[in-house]
Amino acid sequence: MDLGLEGARVLVAASSRGLGGATARRFSLEGARVAINGRHSAALEQAAQAIRAETGGEVVPLVGDVANPDDAGRIVAGAVAALGGLDILVTNAGGPPPGSFESVPLDAWQRAFELSVMSAVRLIHAALPYLRQSNRAAILTIASVSVKQPIDNLILSNSVRMGVVGLTKSLANELGPQGIRVNSILPGWTRTERVTELNAARAEREGRTPDEIAAEQTAGTPLRRMGTPEEFANVAVFLCSPAAGYVHGAMIPVDGGSIRATL
């Protein structure tokens, strides 16, 4: 299937590795021109080089913290300047820290809101004037299965990501008539670098193997394994492509079936 992404101008936020990184790489493999972002310039430059070397495509690295109110607009402006406009925006950020209601300090709530919700709000706000000029405009937000089914010890993520879902559904209603599609992916356990690092540290602490921990984490997942970043990216890139032209306002789980609810 031709996804219709040749030459598309794409910004993927928080994408020097992990879900965002795999998505940027897949866009580039499909012939899109891609701006990537992260807070650390060396890692970001390395990620851009790796994608360019593999795909021969244009990859623009834009350093910035999407939780910082000034950076979001600057990142979008950098992408627009380098790519000559914008067709597709993928909002993403690091996850808020773990913890229970009683262990998480009060001020962590505001930071989590800035990181998970306001980063998406500000990126979309800055990108809209350019997306309106595109004839294949799409926005994809990244949330989590936790919006359907809370995950233990992730009170911040379980709570504030609901705002991303409300934002996505509301924007679908507001922007659909302007021809801008808006969707969200709800990832389940995916073996990104962060998950691998966290599980390795936990295995060390608990005197177990990372495989034992991963098996425990995915015991309730019908496919009995974590997803790969590439499996996530395939769905992300399809949803943003003209090939998914009538998919709008959808919350698509990429979770190996871990959400057990019927609807």
Ligand X SMILES: NC(=O)c1ccc[n+]([C@@H]2O[C@H](COP(=O)([O-])OP(=O)(O)OC[C@H]3O[C@@H](n4cnc5c(N)ncnc54)[C@H](OP(=O)(O)O)[C@@H]3O)[C@@H](O)[C@H]2O)c1
51 to 80, contacts with ligand X by CB under 6 A? 65-67
Closer to ligand X at the Cβ: 22 or 137?
Answer: 22
Residue 137 binding ligand X, by CB under 6 A: no
Residue 111 binding ligand X, by CB under 6 A: no
* Alpha-carbon distances of 80 from 53, 130, 153, 163, rounded to whole Å: 23, 8, 39, 27
Q: What share of the chain is helix, strand, coil (3-state, %, to 5)?
A: 50, 15, 35
Quick one: which of 10, 11, 19, 35 contacts ligand X (CB under 6 A)?
19
Give the binding range for ligand X (CB under 6 A) out of 19-27, 105-113, 120-128, 165-173: 19-27
Rounded to the nearest angstrom, the gap between the alpha carbon of residue 229 and the centroid of all alpha carbons in its chain is 11
CB of 33 to ligand X, least distance (A): 19
d(CA 52, CA 66): 23
Neighbours of 66 (CB within 10 A): 25
Residue 124 binding ligand X, by CB under 6 A: no
Q: Spell out, one character per residue from 216 to 255, where the chain touches ligand X: x when CB under 6 A holds, - when not.
A: ----------------------------------------
CB 47 within 8 A of CB 14: no
d(CA 93, CA 111): 12
Quick one: which of 94, 97, 98, 150 contacts ligand X (CB under 6 A)?
94
Q: Which residues contact 76 (CB under 8 A, 6 or more apart)?
A: 11, 86, 89, 123, 126, 127, 130
Element of type H or E holding 42: helix 41-55
Closer to ligand X at the Cβ: 19 or 128?
Answer: 19
CB of 49 to ligand X, least distance (A): 14
Give the amino acid at 42.
A
Quick one: which of 11, 20, 90, 253 contacts ligand X (CB under 6 A)?
20
CB of 166 to ligand X, least distance (A): 17
Quick one: which of 27, 113, 130, 189 contacts ligand X (CB under 6 A)?
189
- Can you give the binding site for ligand X, defined by CB under 6 A? 14-21, 37-40, 43, 65-67, 92-95, 142, 144, 187, 189-190, 192-195
